[in-house]
Structure 1
Amino acid sequence: MGKEDMFLLWGSGSSPCMRVMIALEEKGFSGYAQKKLDFSKGEHKGPEVLALNPRGQVPTFKDGDLVLGESYAVLHYLQHRYPDSGNNLLPGSAKEQGKALQRYYEVQAALQPEHTALLKAIVYDKQPQEEVQKKVDAFLKEMKTFDGYLAESKFVGGDSFSLGDIDMMVILTMCERQALNVKEKFPNMHAYYERNKERPSIAASYPPHFKTSDSPKILASF
């Protein structure tokens, strides 16, 4: 199995899709087969996706006869199924890996959900301002925590790019798109993003429609 057996169904602007695409690039599988679906046409709920993923969600990733529909599961799978391919996303000693995993799970369990909850409150639920502000405060609190981490290390989990950096770069890409003033509020995270945004895996996975459409700027006032 490997590149010739891999297939990814994805959509532009999806954080989970970008997550998987970065991981595939990092692990050296840039030639994998893929198909970009159009969310506006409901293609992610179409028969091609539903035949593999009954939830009708992307990313939907296939490697040989294995099908995975959760982005974090794909990250774990790629690292453990192909440990010697491309970049090791859990490098170093057991102690170093423990720290990298700690940060990875912190991003996954704390920072990412706060960002998602904030966007949901603003864009989809259109909650009252006082409720939105509570979610803003919770998200910015988590961002401040990670800004502190990045004052102490080059990457999220230590001295090398690891699983947590994939998620962090996705979140910061979305924050840039949404016009959050990261540079002023979180200088360490801004410097980290600037250092890594041209990393080949990040650049190759940048949502294509972000390059051609205007930013929604929904976080510009926070």
Structure 2
Amino acid sequence: MAQSMLLYWGSGSPPCWRVMIALEEKQLQGYKHKHLSFDKNEHKCEEVKALNPRVQVRSDSAFKSQGTRLIPDDPAEQALVYQRVFETNNLQQKMCKCPQQSTHFSSKNMQTSSFSCCFSCSAFKSQGTRLIPDDPAEQALVYQRVFETNNLQQKMYDVAFYEWYVPEGERHESALKRNKESLIAELKLWDGYLEKMGKGSYLAGKNFTMADVVCFPVIAFFPRLHLKAVSDIPDGSNICTVFCSDDVAFYEWYVPEGERHESALKRNKESLIAELKLWDGYLEKMGKGSYLAGKNFTMADVVCFPVIAFFPRLHCPPERCPRLMEYYKMLKDRPSIKASWPPHWLEKPEGQDNLKNL
């Protein structure tokens, strides 16, 4: 099976690294792969665009019966694995890109609700509508749309509720314009998905699935907010976009110089510190030597480790997250992780000191 697979990947990208760890754990070595250079913008080539219009390097696969069992069968254990998988996005966002969001409209709530939906499907698989199909290819598309919904939701909130999120002194016309364009592009992408499926289809095919459960509540906002078409976002409209690229580790990469604010960076450092305490608490509760969701290595570890690995690399003070650093040391020599370690990290083991003053 591995020989029939082709993986596009970029060195140091957490999404790519996750897939590579999972393939190692599932004993699927020997797959074909193509290393894409981010510096040369190879991830934006036509070959990748044909597979993924967002030009983000990623992969979708489902291999249940081979190698390490990354998703346990027990519903309670499975629930914790899914919870940690969905929560990883919070940690990654706060390290890299920290949106200024209200609690009510945060992507964290979307992740938590998606986890609850997935858990309900596992715990009550044979009851009511089958929202997660058994066929691996169909299942992959459902999960892809579930996870992609966060992009649509965030860009819609960033447009409709700008003044709720961003303090007045941190608003910029350039950011508003950039994010309007981002929302328009996202809407065209989802329109394309449905056009490709054909008239009368749901998001992932002819059947109503978890993709529709997760995405419809977001789509329902568009007619409610009188956004009838992407052309309905005029310049100067009261429907504005939020500037959501304030960050901690890569602040100067994301934020144009004229839009940077010390108040935003300070707020997001505090947010990241609080998130690290939360994850340290998870591991402390699990007990010494445990993985993120229990005594076994699971999909939660596959998804989260590539994010955690950035903290020591970027010189985060170990005392900020002692349990996470113990977890990092425990996992960094695991065969699947060593085999997939980013090549440029091997050449240059230490990164920039972006987090040393956290």
Q: Return closer, same or farther for 1:185/1:141 CA change in 2, 3 Å cut-off.
A: same
* Partner SS, residue 8 of structure 1: strand
CA contact (8 A) 1:114 1:135 kept: yes
Say which of 325, 328, 346 aligns to 1:211.
346
Instruction: Answer with 1 or 2: which has the greater Rg.
Output: 2
Q: 1:123 maps to which residue?
A: 253
Alignment of 1:131-210 (within 5 A): 131-153=264-286, 154-181=290-317, 183-210=318-345
Q: Return closer, same or farther for 1:218/1:120 CA change in 2, 3 Å cut-off.
A: closer
Q: Determine what percentage of the aligned residue pairs are the same residue.
A: 36
Say which of 82, 85, 90 aligns to 2:71.
90
CA distance in 1, matches of 2:22, 2:252: 29
* Shift in Å, 1:92: 4.8
Alignment of 1:16-165 (within 5 A): 16-59=15-58, 61=59, 74=60, 77-78=61-62, 82-108=63-89, 110-117=90-97, 118=247, 119-125=249-255, 127-153=260-286, 154-165=290-301
CA contact (8 A) 2:80 2:293 kept: yes
Structure 2 residue identity aligned to 1:162: T
CA contact (8 A) 1:27 1:85 kept: yes
* Shift in Å, 1:48: 2.3
Stretches of 4+ moved more than 4 A in 1?
none
CA contact (8 A) 2:291 2:301 kept: yes
Deviation sequence 1:15-52 (CA, Å, 0-9, x none): 11111111111111121110101111111111222232
* Partner SS, residue 39 of structure 1: coil
CA distance in 1, matches of 2:303, 2:250: 19
Greater Cα shift, 27-36 or 91-100:
91-100
CA distance in 1, matches of 2:8, 2:84: 28
Unpaired stretches in structure 1, ≥5 consecutive residues: 62-73
* Shift in Å, 1:120: 4.5
RMSD over equivalenced CA pairs, Å: 1.7
* Count of aligned positions: 201
CA distance in 2, matches of 1:14, 1:42: 14
Q: 1:69 maps to which residue?
A: none
Deviation sequence 1:161-183 (CA, Å, 0-9, x none): 111112321111111221112x2
CA distance in 2, matches of 1:149, 1:41: 39
Structure 2 residue identity aligned to 1:163: M
CA distance in 2, matches of 1:5, 1:176: 36
CA distance in 2, matches of 1:200, 1:101: 23
* Shift in Å, 1:134: 1.0
Structure 1 residue identity aligned to 2:64: P
CA contact (8 A) 2:276 2:320 kept: no
Q: Return closer, same or farther for 1:137/1:101 CA change in 2, 3 Å cut-off.
A: same
CA distance in 2, matches of 1:215, 1:113: 19
